[in-house]
Amino acid sequence: MMSLWRGALWGRIVGESGYVLGVDMTPAMVEKARVNATKVGYTNVEFRLGDIEALPVDSNIIDIAISNCVLNLVPNKAAAFSEMYRVLKPGGRFCISDIVVTRELPETIQQAATMYVGCVAGALLQNDYLAIITAAGFTDITITKEKLIHIPQAILSEYLSDEEAADFGQPVVSITVVGKKN
């Protein structure tokens, strides 16, 4: 789920004057978020069914957009970042955690459904990912956190020969990126 928020800071974090807007593409996740918000008594949250590539949100109204490991599953990442740019107010910011790769993955891994669902097969090269963010119009783009993701040899051996698995290294990285709309 992509969370967008208007106001101070997020449910409890944004306080009474803040407002949180979550968007997800599955009715089940939207309903689950609504149920959880009701359980804890949040009245300053709203959850909408929608596509991250065509956000059901007016332009220039969001202070901060956050996403945690969602964009690498989106087929058109450029459209997703353009939409994020569109809904943010001038001066608005984003904080995205996602998976990227430091070199191209073997075709067998790119085509594996399990590796896609595991957020690996859909990952872009880190430089390409950052270029998409820049092309959307964002500035002050900074990677604030990087963590190498270790894929165990037992999993690699399901998709690669022994030689390929031995040469694979660990090109998968979790990054947190921030930036702003001028």
Query: Residue 128: which CATH number?
Result: 3.40.50.150
Portion of the chain with pLDDT greater than 70, in percent: 93
143 in Cβ contact with 134 (< 8 Å): no
Mean pLDDT of 102-122: 90
- pLDDT confidence tier of residue 14, bands split at 50, 70 and 90: confident
Angle (CA) 98-100-106 rounded to 5° is: 140
Residue 171 domain-assigned (yes or no): yes
DSSP 50: -
Q: What is the DSSP letter of 71?
A: G
* Phi, psi values for residue 71, rounded to 5°: -65, -30
Q: How many domains does the chain have?
A: 1
Residue 118 placed within a domain: yes
Domain that holds residue 70: 51-180
What pTM was computed for the model? 0.87
pLDDT tens digits for range 115-124: 988 888 889 9
- Categorize the per-residue pLDDT at 12 as very low, low, confident or very high, splitting at 50, 70 and 90: low
Residue 66's region, left for phi above 0, alpha for psi from -120 to 50, else beta, is beta
Average pLDDT for residues 87-112, to the nearest whole number?
A: 94
* Residue 38 included in any domain: no
Pairwise CA distance, residues 37 & 46, whole Å: 9
Residue 167's pLDDT is 86
